[in-house]
Amino acid sequence: MAPGRDIEETTCAIVGGGPAGMVLGLLLARRGIDTTVLESRADFERDFRGDTLHASTMEIMAQLGLADKVLKKSRSRITDFELRSEGEVVRLASLKELRTEFPFIAMVPQVDFLNLLAEEAGKHECFHLCMNTRVTGLIREEGGTRGVLCKTSGGEVELRAKLTVGADGRGSRVRKAAGIELEQKAAPMDVLWFRLPRTDEDHLGTGFYISRGHLLVVLNRGDYWQIAYSLMKGNLKEMHDAGIDSFREELKKVLPETMHSTVGHLNDWSQVSSLSVASGRVKTWFQEGLLLIGDAAHVMTPVGGVGINYAIQDAVAAGNILAPSLKAGKVSMKDLAKVQKRREWPTCFIQQLQTLIQNQIIANALRGDRPFQLNLPTRLFLRIPWLRKLPAYLISYGVRREYVED
């Protein structure tokens, strides 16, 4: 956006340069559609927002000719998920058996992934990325949305657009400005995220670690472990008040002894980020001239690490369905409804599954009043070879695959 001008025009204004916004921006720019992505932050740096690129995303990247570039940024690959509890190890899912070129989760720092998308999209003259640009409201005329109002370092700008896409995440400003309500459900837990240094001698596998009221999710990110410590909702303040020394002692109760000295690296709460876990979705993803995608339309919990991948699948579906209409200069309500119809039920399904895991495994593990055991149906499920493949498939693809149509 040129400084000094206060009214601009674009065909598609995308609010939010997260995974959903950047992928949609790239896809529309490839089709020659004038597209402007507005991102409030000055850069893409964002720790602990998920670095997990699943087969669904990697296959989309391969279609765009970007898979090798993405994999070069990868810190590690996850192929197996285990649950370790009271000396027992249960394999929950193995991605190795998937029939795909990418039978793993690539751990790619989100900052590198988003920078790569920005670089690729920037090769198209019709793509404009405005960092440091906060959308403050919508331009509403004749009962529809006609663009956005934003604040830049140069002042206030009115960006008029044929279509405005809210890809601005769980706290979406666009959603609020449009008066669309998010129906939110609290999860039974909150999460504390932190990192610990990693060496190849560490005997940790990626997966869940459970011991008497404690649950960790451990992810290998190359030179460090990313660890999520789950705790019952409402216990966060008590944990903080007890101090970081007490938190370290809690961690030692669940981590193997070989890791106990590494826990000493945590010496201040500033090294620990907290996340209030919630899930939710909106009833209607669109209004005239407006569409919500990604977390703006459906907030995901971190269970299964599917949020980024679902946001990207929304972007691909939206790009496929809307590009022809955007090229023709008019997007109808029918077009927008098609995007919701395509993506709504896969989203509902995976949110239900996340809730089931939260209630059956996580809440059960956090209760801690008796040794944790997977319930009988889950154990039987994991014993049946063809059923055992299902978690791996669902983690990797969800229930509906999306591919880029050119």
Ligand X SMILES: Cc1cc2nc3c(=O)[nH]c(=O)nc-3n(C[C@H](O)[C@H](O)[C@H](O)COP(=O)(O)OP(=O)(O)OC[C@H]3O[C@@H](n4cnc5c(N)ncnc54)[C@H](O)[C@@H]3O)c2cc1C
> Where do contacts with ligand X occur on this chain (CB under 6 A)?
15-21, 38-41, 48-50, 52, 134-135, 167-169, 173, 193, 275, 294-296, 300, 302, 305-309, 311
Least distance (Å) between residue 299 CB and ligand X: 8
Which residue, 289 or 302, is less far from ligand X as judged by CB? 302
Which residue, 295 or 344, is less far from ligand X as judged by CB? 295
Least distance (Å) between residue 88 CB and ligand X: 25
Which residue, 14 or 83, is less far from ligand X as judged by CB? 14
Three-class DSSP category at 34: coil
Phi, psi of 200, deg, nearest 5: -70, -15
Least distance (Å) between residue 385 CB and ligand X: 28
Least distance (Å) between residue 384 CB and ligand X: 28
DSSP 75-119: -EEE-EEEEEETTEEEEEEEGGGSSSS--SEEE--HHHHHHHHHH
Cβ atoms < 10 Å from Cβ of 141: 11
Query: 190: which strand partners?
Result: 231, 276
Least distance (Å) between residue 174 CB and ligand X: 7
State the DSSP H helix or E strand holding residue 282, giving kind and residue range, or none if neither. strand 273-282
Which residue, 32 or 137, is less far from ligand X as judged by CB? 137
* Spatial CA neighbour of 215 closest among 83, 304, 89: 83
Least distance (Å) between residue 321 CB and ligand X: 17
3-state helix, strand, coil in the chain (%, to 5): 40, 30, 30
Which residue, 67 or 191, is less far from ligand X as judged by CB? 191
Least distance (Å) between residue 395 CB and ligand X: 10
Q: What is the 3-state secondary structure (H, E, C) of 152-194?
A: ECCEEEEEEEEEEEECCCCCCHHHHHCCCCEEEEEEEEEEEEE
* Spatial CA neighbour of 26 closest among 65, 74, 56: 65
CA–CA separation, 98 and 389 (whole Å): 8
In order of 158, 313, 388, the CA distances from 308 in angstroms are: 29, 9, 24
Which residue, 39 or 120, is less far from ligand X as judged by CB? 39
Which residue, 118 or 300, is less far from ligand X as judged by CB? 300
